[in-house]
Structure 1
């Protein structure tokens, strides 16, 4: 039986992931926002606050994630925390810049839900493989898995369900239903492409 040597990502490989993955997720955010939808996780909380207050999603992402960096430092280490901090900051920046660079017209809402979910999943997959995240709830569920033994996947799914159910009070049923479709598309990408032991880069 042959063993393949595991290779760590170098600085430039990590850097491109931190630069590119948030841009891909920001495009997903733009599709969701243009279609009046939302997603799960910390970005979903930012969407809920955005629809309620009208505040920018970028500034909300920064504010919501602030309490989680201390936890990330204790639970995941310095490198993970720095990469996550940069990824969240870039996501906030890209989210505010993209509407000025791209004008979307005639957007099909179902397409926006599915394509947005796929793009968000690809973005998160890139960050996972480079030991980073988009902060917030992702950090919390990993911490609870490490300290309490609770399954991170199930915790994340439960949190996403709560966020999407909360949207019923501020969005119409069709928008909530399409948002659920987007969340399923996101999780499909992660479930199919992220298997422990398959990916040789660390």
Structure 2
């Protein structure tokens, strides 16, 4: 392995560790003391903690061991290394948090304002898992089951994950208050939104696809006024059978209105498609090392 690849691997491992540390902090300081829940294997570990007082740090790892074997057989070691690292890292940080709370080095966050607690818990879970996922890791568990189901049976990964979460959170109704389950849904929703935000990137832009008889004139105006790069490609109308050039251009959000005005000033009849673009890299946007 050359130095650049080694450097990249260290960066991945570092941010996976940071993500699992944040996630473990949220679980031990916010989720568990207030008897909230999580989905997946982590949720199962919390359920065993509420029912039998078993420590989540050990149970998370124990439940995942047979799943590691399944994943290793089905997907190969290369695919599983970061998953195993992320899961072990999570267990280690969960244990450190449990040890710190037991020795009163850290105080759990408990109050009667459950809305505030769920907000903090959702943010901590979202930021932690978002970093883990962004840098190629997972925390094992349900993700392995879902991928195995997809490979062996063709099941939808999303539906399998949803079914697992539904069962685990559903069973928790026998051990925690119904009101806490409703707050758990808020935690899951907030976490999911933040995970998407971190994975897609904080910077987002808009992509314009422009269909016009005056593509050359539009290209010239945008290039001169906005100084943005453009791409021309040939299209063929399904009904008219006519060939024409389409224009593709990515702009920042603040340039959307100006872009539209420029296009309409050249061709009021231009057909414009505007789509979301996330994490734009390159000249005129942001530069980022991978």
Question: What is the TM-score with the length of structure 2 in the denominator?
Answer: 0.60
Matches within 5 A, 1:150-165: 150-165=155-170
- Taking the aligned partners of 1:153 and 1:190, their CA distance within structure 2 comes to 15
Structure 2 vs 1, CA of residues 75 and 191 (structure 1 numbering), >3 Å: closer, same or farther?
Answer: farther
> Which residue number corresponds to residue 181 of structure 2?
176
After superposing the two structures, state which structure 1 stretch, 37-46 or 124-133, moved more: 124-133
Structure 2 residue aligned with 1:4:
none
1:132 paired residue number: 137
Q: Cα offset for 1:124?
A: 2.1
Q: Any runs of at least 4 consecutive aligned residues in structure 1 with deviations exceeding 6 A, and if so which? A: none
**Deviation per residue, 1:57-105 (Å, 9 max, x gap):** 1111111111100122133331332222222122112112224142135
Higher RCO structure, 1 or 2 (CA under 8 Å, sep 6+):
1
User: Is the contact between residue 113 and residue 181 of structure 1 (CA under 8 Å) also seen in structure 2?
Assistant: yes
**What's the RMSD between the two structures over aligned residues?**
2.5
Contact 1:117 1:182 (C-alpha < 8 Å) held by counterparts = yes
Alignment partner, residue 25 of structure 1? 23
| Conserved 8 A contact 2:130-2:196 | no
Sort the Cα spacing of 1:158 and 1:34 in 2 relative to 1 into closer, same or farther, 3 A: same
Report if the CA contact (8 A) 1:40-1:160 is conserved.
yes
Q: CA deviation at 1:126?
A: 2.0
User: Which residue does 1:15 correspond to in 2?
Assistant: 13
Cα distance, 1:105–1:190 mapped onto 2, change above 3 Å = closer
Q: Indicate the residue corresponding to 2:119 in structure 1.
A: 114
Q: By percentage of residues, which structure has more helix?
A: 1
Task: Quote the residue 1:96 is aligned against.
Answer: 95
Deviations along 1:111-166, whole A, 9 cap, x unmatched? 22232222222222222222221111111112223443332222212211111111
Count of aligned residue pairs for this structure pair: 195
Matches of 2:120 and 2:127, distance apart in 1: 11
Q: Which runs of 5+ in 1 are unaligned?
A: 1-6
Decide which structure has the larger Cα Rg and report it: 2
Residues 88-97 or 26-35, more deviating = 88-97
Q: Distance in 1 between matches of 2:74 and 2:196?
A: 24
Question: Structure 1 residue 52 and structure 2 residue 56: aligned?
Answer: no
TM score, norm. by length of structure 1: 0.84
Query: Which is worse superposed, 72-81 or 135-144?
Result: 72-81
Which segment drifts farther, 126-135 or 162-171?
126-135
Cα deviation, residue 169, structure 1: 0.9
CA contact (8 A) 1:27 1:116 kept: no
